[in-house]
Amino acid sequence: MNSKVQFVDITESQEGQRIDNFLIKTLKKLPRSRLYRIIRKGEVRVNKKRIKPEYKLCIGDQVRIPPVYKEESDNSPVVIPDVLLKKIESSILFENEDIIILNKPSGLAVHSGSGLRYGAIDVLRVLRNKSDIELVHRLDRDTSGCLLFAKTRQSLLAVQNLFKTQALTKTYIAIVKGHWDLNLIDIQLPLLKQTMSNGERKVFVDERGQQAHTRIEQATHYSCDGVKFSLLRIRLLTGRTHQIRVHCKAHNHEIAGDVKYGDRQFNRLIKKIGGGRLLLHASKLEIPQVAHTKSLEVKAPDPQEFVKLLLNKML
């Protein structure tokens, strides 16, 4: 069916929300690929002007939402398997009245879209019977580990501000190809998102891109069955799309199991010795005290794939 043009006036409860997130919540059944397409084509307008997906709404903004066609199949109810509901419930690392920190499994997207009926946020909304739970940040589908959600609009804005001011610390672990140069500590390379001819979106090191800063806090060399690799402990100082994956690739140390940016031969070799997934894991979140939470240091356990690879393999 075709919906009519909608005009929505932004109120205090929506202030500061990205336009793409606002539309995702408003047009719940619309595939994300189509949603971003109507933004790019200028069919979505704010105060009669074209905007980018990252535009943040202000009180008094008027959003024009164009007519969209929704497939009949989109109207079928989404059923989340009980086994996944139980897995996510048991993977919650911290929860209070305002925030949830989840140890997201590898392979689970953070939200629905692009052919996916549900993601981590949809599972949490079902578990808590609370539709206004929101993502504070994102993890790639195949990246596991600490993922932060807000239960209220106020806590969402407060914690997002911690990201902006770099007051919140995100630490990752990754297994990468070869032996990392121990003198390579800071990577500051600008990143640019591009849409390929087949519609795939990829990120490249490009001077026209956004500034991106990755810090290697620790690198340990390993070898197993003739395969050389390194375990990195990484602090993310900016949060660009695919930042760690592209920064590692730029230094010829592709992350194990990365099918988008990785080294195919290395992926085959690492899979034979136990690494059958993207070996990138958000291992720790450090949050200073704010109105919505006490000071926190939350750690996600090392995935079994990491444990298996690293056990007794250090040189």
Domain CATH number, residue 211: 3.30.2350.10
Q: Are residues 29 and 45 in the same domain?
A: yes
- What is the CA angle 257-186-180, rounded to 5? 45
Q: How many other C-beta atoms can be found within 10 angstroms of the C-beta atom of residue 122?
A: 20
Which of 137, 161, 185 is the C-terminal boundary of a domain? Answer: 161
Nearest-angstrom CA–CA distance, 221 and 226? 13
pLDDT tens digit at each of 315 positions of the chain: 446 888 999 987 788 888 988 888 888 778 777 888 899 889 999 999 999 988 999 999 999 999 886 544 445 667 889 999 999 999 999 999 999 999 999 999 998 766 677 899 999 999 999 888 999 999 999 999 999 999 988 888 888 888 888 889 999 999 999 999 999 999 999 999 887 766 678 999 999 999 999 999 999 999 988 899 999 999 999 989 999 999 999 999 999 999 999 999 999 999 988 888 999 999 999 999 888 888 999 999 999 999 988 875 644
Does residue 267 belong to any structural domain of this protein? yes
Q: Are residues 154 and 186 in the same domain?
A: no
Domain count, the chain: 3
Q: Are 234 and 173 in contact (CB under 8 A)?
A: yes
pTM for the complete prediction? 0.79
Does residue 126 belong to any structural domain of this protein? yes
Nearest-angstrom CA–CA distance, 88 and 152? 20
Q: Are residues 121 and 246 in the same domain?
A: no
Q: Are 180 and 216 in contact (CB under 8 A)?
A: yes
Helices 32-40 and 19-26: angle between axes, nearest 10 degrees: 130
3-class secondary-structure state, position 220: strand
Contacts of 51 (CB under 8 A, 6+ apart): 19, 39, 44, 45
Does residue 261 belong to any structural domain of this protein? yes
Q: Are residues 176 and 130 in the same domain?
A: no
Which of 69, 98, 118 is the C-terminal boundary of a domain? Answer: 69
62-65 and 45-46 strand pairing: antiparallel
Nearest-angstrom CA–CA distance, 111 and 37? 18
Q: Are 171 and 214 in contact (CB under 8 A)?
A: no
Q: Are residues 277 and 173 in the same domain?
A: yes
Q: Are residues 15 and 97 in the same domain?
A: no
Q: Are residues 139 and 239 in the same domain?
A: no
Residue 39's H or E segment, with its range, is helix 32-40
Q: Are residues 152 and 229 in the same domain?
A: no
Structural domain for 53, as ranges: 6-69
Q: Are residues 82 and 210 in the same domain?
A: no
Just list the catalytic residues: 140
Which of 161, 179, 206 is the C-terminal boundary of a domain? Answer: 161
Domain CATH number, residue 43: 3.10.290.10
Contacts of 257 (CB under 8 A, 6+ apart): 142, 267, 270, 271, 275, 276, 277, 278, 279
